[in-house]
Structure 1
Amino acid sequence: MNSEENTDSIPIDFILDILSRLPSKSIARCRCVSKLWESMIRQSYFTELFLTRSSSRPHLLIAVEQEGEWKFFSLPQPKNYLGKSSLVVAANLHLKFFEDKRPHGCSYASSLIYLPNMTIRKKGDDDLRVICNPSTGQYGYVILPPLLDFKSKPYGKFLGFDPIDKQFKVLIPIFDFDKHQTDHHILKLGAETVGWRKIQSPLCYLPHSNGTICINGILYYLAKINYARDENVLVCFDVRSENFVFLRLNTYCSSTKLVNYKGKLGMINQEYVDDGGFPLKLSVWVLEDVGKEEWSTYVYTLRDDNKVDQVKYNLSVVGVTASGEIVLVKKTQTLKPFYVLYFNPDKNTLLSVEVKGLHRGLYAVHRIYAFVDHVEDLEFNIMKTTYAAKSKFSQEDRF
């Protein structure tokens, strides 16, 4: 009796309910069971059901970069750990890339990772950039727009997501030194006919390298508008309408981290009191109202009695969980073990989580990127016509 005959005796809704509780890697393998199973798993109903289940079990996504090699891991975010100060968890490896040796960076939005500086050469095409779903192992390619001349330079390549139309877009600010203006190239991923388009900004600026964050369809990043006066702004780009809003900032430092603070844009500055060690001061600004430019401010201090001996130096904030815990890691790692710290500002407690399996195969200094509240999502139909999205679980999937 084959799998399709077995399926006839079991209600499909029951099968889908069971499958929706599996991890994404298992779902990818289940596609190979039969054509019927593949058809069921590709239904939009199942994709939404899986996303709903996955949203209730958020993970910390960790990207490790070492000499052009990328590895993506995930681990469950701790909950119900009252009375504990330390935990040990195992990291789950999802995806590996072996490409060129240049240093990279990455942009994250709605479960997808964009690697704008990773170059893959494909016969007959220009250099391609990688965008991937680390949970499923699928990845696709993006061709960068041609620059008009050597006087134009891209400053940042950002990934944004519009939750209303469920649309991903790549935004590239380009500074024209001759005209002294900032233009933008924008690409709607998955569009069948529309390629890169050019839109202008009402303000001339240069983005900082603090990274981006996309919250409820708004892509946020920091920028400088006046080098002589050291004036800085928060850029708010509406992914759906493609409109810009600029908010002037009274404070900025290179360690400023943009975070999702309970559904609102947050900025966190960190300041070590003692040469990279504890106490560690965390200054938090939360954007309460964009139109009125209203901010709330909080200051927290991780003191000596909070510290974990192995990781008390050179920590960096990587995000804030939905429950309000500030997450810190060491962004550059050379030694084992690897720790993730969860600071609860309401209770003034610090939980250290030792992560097993992260350093396997690593032999030199490597850089860490981490993204909180990562939700496994099976959706990856953003490359419908440009290129086939490849998966490590099947030979080729075409969307």
Structure 2
Amino acid sequence: MIEILKRLPPKTLIRFLSVSKLWSSIIRGQYFMKLYLNESLTKPKSLVFVFRKPYLLASSEVNLKLAHEVSDAASSLATYYHVTIRTQQLTKISPPVHGLICYGPPSKLVVYNPCTRRSVTLPKINAGRRAINHYLGYDPINNDYKVLCIIRGMHKLSNRRGLAEEILVLTLRSSTHQDSWRTMMNIQDNYIIPHHSPVSDELCINGVLYYQAFTGTKLNESAIMSFDVRSEKLAIIKGPCTFRTFSKLTSYEGKLAVVFFEKKISGIIALWVLQDPSKEEWSKKTFVLPSATTFKK
């Protein structure tokens, strides 16, 4: 029965929760969840995208392989989930991390599962008027989801960027009772927050959460922060080159990569891949984009 259930779509599993207590306990069990996630990873990749309307947040997931195979008339078959959520206007949505997304203003962060359409509202953070950056990470070893929140203050030499003053971590639980926010000071004795100003662009790869940041005395130098979701350690990784701002963090062959668009030469993309995080070693790959006339042909 488990072999059959793990091959079914999420919508069908949600309906089967009402069949019996036995089926419900099997589907909600940790063993089946891990089995189902591993089975899902063998299927064609999907794209989760979000678009905004005033006070609304819509999330859709499209199977990339299926979307290329169906015709325009049947393109709606490629859309698996379409969810509309009423939310505040100033809402930041984190990238999907192992099937979950985190969105909302700092006063009311929500972790949401587009497949099951279930959500969890996190405890409120009392930061006063200080700005907050939030990030979602996943530890594949312990199967833990954690939310990282960085409270930013104003920098004396730069009014545009806030310096990280306090770092909070929360571990998500399967039960209705959630943990409270923990500060990094309580996690690591004598821990000093690295001097940096966080940027929203982030990515989680193999249990490590990466996000862009500005460092230096004037916060004008680019860097990448790495947060080990399991050990909850934060470190700084120097950027791959002299660029002051990054274009986009991405994953290349299971490694962190940074995409730069060359300004001097049109149609050229530079991809810097982090080969060794401990030694801060980067390798560069160059790609040439097809011209607009190529697409028309």
- TM-score normalised to the size of structure 2? 0.81
| Cα pair distance change 1:137/1:94, threshold 3 Å | farther
Partner in structure 1 of residue 137 of structure 2: 160
Cα deviation code 1:244-275 (max 9, x no counterpart): 2212223346561111211111111224679x
| Cα pair distance change 1:40/1:306, threshold 3 Å | farther
2:180 to 171, 190, 195: 195
Q: Is the 8 A contact 1:69 1:99 kept in 2?
A: yes
| Cα pair distance change 1:40/1:193, threshold 3 Å | closer
2:110 to 100, 105, 130: 130
| Cα pair distance change 1:103/1:42, threshold 3 Å | closer
Q: Is the 8 A contact 1:106 1:116 kept in 2?
A: no
| Cα pair distance change 1:55/1:259, threshold 3 Å | same
The CA distance in 2 between the partners of 1:68 and 1:281, in whole Å, is 38
Query: By how many angstroms is 1:296 displaced?
Result: 0.9
Q: What is the DSSP-based 3-state SS (H/G/I as helix, E as strand, rest coil) of the residue aligned with 2:215?
A: strand
Query: By how many angstroms is 1:208 displaced?
Result: 2.0
Unpaired runs of at least 5, structure 2: 157-162, 185-190
Higher relative contact order (CA 8 A, sep 6+): 1
The CA distance in 1 between the partners of 2:2 and 2:164, in whole Å, is 52
Decide which structure has greater helix share: 2
| Cα pair distance change 1:66/1:60, threshold 3 Å | same
Cα deviation code 1:293-327 (max 9, x no counterpart): 11110111112167546xxxxxxxxxxxxxxxxxx
| Cα pair distance change 1:34/1:272, threshold 3 Å | farther
Query: By how many angstroms is 1:215 displaced?
Result: 0.8
Q: In structure 1, what residue type is equivalent to 2:6?
A: S
| Stretch of structure 1 that moved more, 249-258 or 234-243 | 249-258
The CA distance in 2 between the partners of 1:18 and 1:214, in whole Å, is 31
Unpaired runs of at least 5, structure 1: 1-14, 119-126, 310-399
Query: By how many angstroms is 1:230 displaced?
Result: 2.3
Q: Is 1:116 paired with 2:101?
A: no
Aligned alpha-carbon RMSD (Å): 3.0
Q: Is 1:236 paired with 2:226?
A: yes
The CA distance in 2 between the partners of 1:101 and 1:243, in whole Å, is 33
Query: By how many angstroms is 1:95 displaced?
Result: 2.4
The CA distance in 2 between the partners of 1:110 and 1:245, in whole Å, is 23
Q: Is the 8 A contact 1:160 1:219 kept in 2?
A: yes
Partner in structure 1 of residue 268 of structure 2: 281
Q: What is the DSSP-based 3-state SS (H/G/I as helix, E as strand, rest coil) of the residue aligned with 1:72?
A: strand
2:13 to 2, 24, 27: 27
Cα deviation code 1:88-141 (max 9, x no counterpart): 5432224221233335333432211000328xxxxxxxx532110111111110
| Cα pair distance change 1:105/1:229, threshold 3 Å | closer
Q: Is the 8 A contact 1:68 1:104 kept in 2?
A: no
| Cα pair distance change 1:87/1:193, threshold 3 Å | closer
Query: By how many angstroms is 1:66 displaced?
Result: 1.9
| Cα pair distance change 1:43/1:174, threshold 3 Å | closer
Q: In structure 1, what residue type is equivalent to 2:54?
A: E
Partner in structure 1 of residue 153 of structure 2: 176
The CA distance in 2 between the partners of 1:252 and 1:272, in whole Å, is 12
| Stretch of structure 1 that moved more, 235-244 or 300-309 | 300-309
Partner in structure 2 of residue 47 of structure 1: 33
Q: Is the 8 A contact 1:30 1:38 kept in 2?
A: yes
Query: By how many angstroms is 1:227 displaced?
Result: 6.7
The CA distance in 2 between the partners of 1:78 and 1:94, in whole Å, is 18
Equivalent pairs: percent with the same residue? 28
- TM-score normalised to the size of structure 1? 0.62
